[in-house]
Amino acid sequence: MSKKDHSSERVLVGVDDSEDAQLAFRYALRYCLKDKSTLIITSILEDEDMNVYQALDKDYVHGERSELEDHIRKYRQVALDAGVKNVEIYVAEGEAGETIVKEVIPYVDANLLIVGSNSKKGIKKYFGSQAAYMAKYAPISVMVVR
């Protein structure tokens, strides 16, 4: 058996503004620097954060998505400034865990997912259910950072 070539590894990190997501981002950053991996940064515009009127307003949804894309570009710049050579971004809409597992992972061809244990909604609402869902159903290895 030959040792795996880490230079082609594609590491996906899910980010929001939670402390755990920030930890996951920093861990993914260090991991990619050490192993010369590609870092793929994703964030999900969650439908449930919008009321029905906002969800039906295409200008509102476009504005929210545009703000999220701008925010993710800042993460990309941080990673590039830190020395990560290959950094990609991907923004999607839907329920975070399911969207990352069913849409993002296959599209970006990642082979490792790094996520924080709690989302920005806090432990009272989710009890880490997004991370648990991804750890259970992702077709790739998942590292949950806390």
For the segment 27-64, what is each residue's pLDDT rounded down to a tens digit? 999 999 999 999 999 999 876 554 444 444 454 445 57
Provide mean pLDDT across the span 70-84.
Answer: 96
pLDDT tier, 23 (very low <50, low <70, confident <90, very high otherwise): very high
Q: Which of 55-59, 81-85, 93-97, 114-118 has the highest mean pLDDT?
A: 81-85
Tell me, letter by letter, the H, E, C secondary structure of 76-120.
HHHHHHHCCCCEEEEEEECCHHHHHHHHHHHHHCCCEEEEECCCC
Residues in contact with 82: Cβ distance below 8 Å, sequence separation at least 6, in sequence order: 29, 33
Cα separation, 21 vs 39, whole angstroms: 15
Boundaries of every domain in the chain:
6-145
Residue 110, both tokens: 């990642």
Angle at 64 between CA 30 and CA 81, to 5 degrees: 25
Question: How is domain 6-145 classified at the architecture level of CATH?
Answer: 3-Layer(aba) Sandwich (3.40)
pTM (global) more than 0.75: yes
